[in-house]
């Protein structure tokens, strides 16, 4: 297979493996029939989603890919209509966990020249709940702990990752924070087994996020978002589905029962991909895959990237900063 063909497949696989950012916005399946002619809202290239991120994309990235009331009310393309209104959500109901007002007569929130002629539905109707009337932001930090044996809502709405301070173990035996890990580093993935990090599907260093925290009887405490897969009682489960009494697999291969489930707010979102498919984080074995795709499907899709790495080597400049901006 030629290098150019591999690059093409690499982009396709990456686009399929990273989160569909459209799913985080109102009316994610809207198309031309609904007034939304462009599928790639965050990029200047409407058809392919490649190259320059437009102002809407930049604003969404600045909001850590959260559709908040503030982001909903922003007018990214400067056409006098808010992002939410252009996407059918003038009351920012979707930002509060509800349904947008409209699913048709939409317009592109990143291109001012994509406005349809009919703009009569562009404001929140009288009597509807206005954005500033909402009692609480949906991204507000919940209570400090969750009762043992329950999963609560920790990490809801976040991408699926580990925090910046999470620890991995290098082949040298040295422990390193996730935020300092580099493409090409070899990390512990199972007892006495190390694998190369070949890309990051997320690498967002700054904002704070909610995470599930699972504490074991052996003293290990792993922190990850609720949709990240972890080995619990011998099965791959979302962190939010793990219950007290189930066992986690430790770095040495032994298991230890979960004695407490809570959540914390920490900084950063990182998800390194290893050639192996697993990774030991905070002394506990987890998968590098998430609820976005079945782990088997994700591993198959990313085989293209592994093949590219084997053929042409690693490109830290491309893959260290995450695939967050690819085709959304």
Write the pLDDT tens digit of every residue in 283-313. Answer: 999 998 766 555 555 556 556 666 666 666 6
CATH 2.170.16.10, the chain: domain bounds: 167-319
What pLDDT shows up at residue 246?
97
pLDDT at 325 exceeding the cut of 60: no
Residue with tokens 């969404």: 60
pLDDT tens per residue across span 189-242: 999 999 999 888 888 887 678 899 999 999 999 999 888 889 999 898 989 999
Mean pLDDT of 96-108: 79
C-beta atoms surrounding 161 within 10 Å: 27
Residue 120, C-beta contacts closer than 8 angstroms, at least 6 positions apart: none
Residue 62 to residue 66: CA distance in whole angstroms: 9
Q: Highest mean pLDDT: which of 102-106, 235-239, 278-282?
A: 278-282
**In the structure, what pLDDT confidence band is assigned to residue 139 with cuts at 50, 70 and 90?**
very low
71: helix, coil or strand?
Answer: helix
**Backbone dihedral angles phi then psi of residue 303, each to the nearest 5 degrees:** -60, -25
**In the structure, what pLDDT confidence band is assigned to residue 106 with cuts at 50, 70 and 90?**
confident
Angle between helices 3-17 and 303-312 (to 10 degrees): 140
What pLDDT shows up at residue 157?
40
Strand pairing class (255-274; 247-249): antiparallel
Question: Are 210 and 182 in contact, with CB atoms under 8 Å apart?
Answer: no
CATH architecture designation of domain 167-319: Beta Complex (2.170)
Question: Are 223 and 161 in contact, with CB atoms under 8 Å apart?
Answer: no
- Kindly provide the b/e burial profile for residues 236-251, where b requires at least 16 CB atoms within 10 angstroms of the residue's own CB: ebbbbbbeeebbbbbb
**In the structure, what pLDDT confidence band is assigned to residue 127 with cuts at 50, 70 and 90?**
low
What pLDDT shows up at residue 304?
63
Looking from the CA of 286 toward its CB, the CA atoms found within 13 Å total: 33
Write out the two tokens for 166. 């999470």
Opening angle at CA 318, ends 239 and 111, nearest 5: 85
Residue 174, C-beta contacts closer than 8 angstroms, at least 6 positions apart: none
What pLDDT shows up at residue 114?
57
Residue 233 to residue 113: CA distance in whole angstroms: 54
Plot region of 78 (φ>0 → left; ψ -120 to 50 → alpha; else → beta): left
Q: What percent of the chain has pLDDT over 90?
A: 29
Question: Where is pLDDT greater, at 254 or 40?
Answer: 254
Mean pLDDT of 82-95: 87
Write out the two tokens for 303. 């085989």
Looking from the CA of 260 toward its CB, the CA atoms found within 13 Å total: 14
Write out the two tokens for 185. 């580093």
pLDDT at 94 exceeding the cut of 70: yes
Residue 206 to residue 166: CA distance in whole angstroms: 14
**In the structure, what pLDDT confidence band is assigned to residue 146 with cuts at 50, 70 and 90?**
very low
Q: What percent of the chain has pLDDT over 70?
A: 64
What pLDDT shows up at residue 324?
47
pLDDT at 10 exceeding the cut of 70: no
Write out the two tokens for 308. 């590219």
Question: Where is pLDDT greater, at 46 or 135?
Answer: 46
pLDDT at 328 exceeding the cut of 90: no
pLDDT at 268 exceeding the cut of 80: yes
Prediction pTM value: 0.54
Residue in 232, 266, 268, 227 with CA at minimum distance from that of residue 248: 232
Residue 276, C-beta contacts closer than 8 angstroms, at least 6 positions apart: 189, 190, 193, 195
pLDDT at 281 exceeding the cut of 90: yes
């Amino acid at each position: 297979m030629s290098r150019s063909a591999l690059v093409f497949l690499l982009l396709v696989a990456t686009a399929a493996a990273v989160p569909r950012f459209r799913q985080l916005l109102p009316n994610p399946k809207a198309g031309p029939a609904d007034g939304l002619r462009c599928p790639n809202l965050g990029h200047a290239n409407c058809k392919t989603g490649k190259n320059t991120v437009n102002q809407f994309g930049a604003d969404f990235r600045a909001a850590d890919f959260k559709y908040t009331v503030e982001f909903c009310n922003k007018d990214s393309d400067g056409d006098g209509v808010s992002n939410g209104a252009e996407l059918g959500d003038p009351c920012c109901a979707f930002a509060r966990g509800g349904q947008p007002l409209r699913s048709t007569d939409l317009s592109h929130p990143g291109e001012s020249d994509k406005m349809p002629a009919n703009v009569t539905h562009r404001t929140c109707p009288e009597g509807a709940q206005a954005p500033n009337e909402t009692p609480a932001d949906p991204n507000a930090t919940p209570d400090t702990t969750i009762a043992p044996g329950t999963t609560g809502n920790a990490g809801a709405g976040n991408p699926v990752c580990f925090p910046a301070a999470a620890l991995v173990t290098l082949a040298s035996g040295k422990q390193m924070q996730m935020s300092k890990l580099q493409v090409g580093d070899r990390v512990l993935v199972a007892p006495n087994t190390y694998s190369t990090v070949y890309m990051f599907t997320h690498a967002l260093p700054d904002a704070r996020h909610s995470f599930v925290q699972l504490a074991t009887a052996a003293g290990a405490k792993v922190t990850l978002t609720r949709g990240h897969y972890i080995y619990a009682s011998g099965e791959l489960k979302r962190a939010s589905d793990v219950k007290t009494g189930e066992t986690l697999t430790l770095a040495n291969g032994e298991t230890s029962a979960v004695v407490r489930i809570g959540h914390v707010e920490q900084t950063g979102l990182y998800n390194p991909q290893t050639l192996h498919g697993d990774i030991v984080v905070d002394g506990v074995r987890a998968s590098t895959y998430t609820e976005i795709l079945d782990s088997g499907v994700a591993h198959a899709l990313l085989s293209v990237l592994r093949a590219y790495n084997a053929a042409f080597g690693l490109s830290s400049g491309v893959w260290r900063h995450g695939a967050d901006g690819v085709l959304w």
